C-alpha cells in the first residue's frame, strides 16, 4: 500500500473513531488513528469527564491502546475533529515525543506535519 492510500485509510479510521467520542461537555468529538511501524492501526477518541483534567484526548487513547499491546515504534497518526484542522494539544505532542522521533508524521485533514514541526523543543531528562 502506498503512502497516499495509507494516509487516506488513517484519515477514514480517525473520522470513524470520532463517532465514539464521549464529549457531552464540549460537544467537540475527536478521533485518532495511529499507525505502528509493523503496520497495525490503533484508534482512539476523546473521553471527557465532569472533572475536566480527568478527560483524555483521542491521540493519547490511541497511543495507550497500542502501548498496552506492546508497541513502541510508530510511523504516523491521523487526527480528525471535523472539517477544520485539529492539531494535537501540547500535552499530546509531548506524549508523542516520548515514543516518536522528529520525523513522526501527524496528519491533519489534507496536511501532513512532522512532530519536529509541531513540537520544535521537547522535554526530556537529557536536556
Task: Transcribe 47-116 into DSSP letters.
Answer: B--SSGGG-B-HHHHHHHHHHHTT---EEEEEEE-SSS--PPPHHHHHHHHHH--TT-EEEETTEEEEHH
pTM: 0.94
Residue-wise pLDDT tens digits, 29-62: 999 999 999 999 999 999 999 998 999 999 999 9
Question: Cα dist. 59→33, 94, 122 in Å?
Answer: 8, 11, 17
pLDDT tens digits along 92-112 = 999 999 999 999 999 999 899
Domain ranges of the chain: 3-109
37: annotated active-site residue: no
Please identify which of the residues 9, 37, 48, 59 carries the catalytic annotation.
Answer: 59
Question: Which CATH number is associated with domain 3-109?
Answer: 3.40.140.10
Q: What is the rounded CA–CA span in Å between residue 48 and residue 29? A: 10
Q: Provide mean pLDDT across the span 2-10.
A: 90
Amino acid at each position: 500500500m502506498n503512502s497516499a492510500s495509507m494516509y487516506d485509510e488513517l484519515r477514514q479510521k480517525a473520522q470513524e473513531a470520532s463517532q465514539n467520542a464521549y464529549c457531552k461537555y464540549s460537544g467537540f468529538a475527536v478521533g485518532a488513528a495511529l499507525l505502528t511501524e509493523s503496520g497495525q492501526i490503533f484508534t482512539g477518541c476523546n473521553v471527557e469527564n465532569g472533572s475536566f483534567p480527568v478527560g483524555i484526548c483521542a491521540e493519547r487513547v490511541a497511543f495507550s491502546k497500542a502501548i498496552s499491546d506492546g508497541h513502541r515504534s510508530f510511523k504516523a497518526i491521523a487526527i480528525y475533529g471535523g472539517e477544520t484542522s485539529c492539531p494535537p494539544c501540547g500535552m499530546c505532542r509531548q506524549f508523542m515525543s516520548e515514543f516518536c522521533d522528529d520525523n513522526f508524521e501527524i496528519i491533519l485533514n489534507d496536511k501532513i506535519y512532522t512532530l519536529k514541526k509541531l513540537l520544535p523543543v521537547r522535554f526530556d531528562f537529557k536536556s
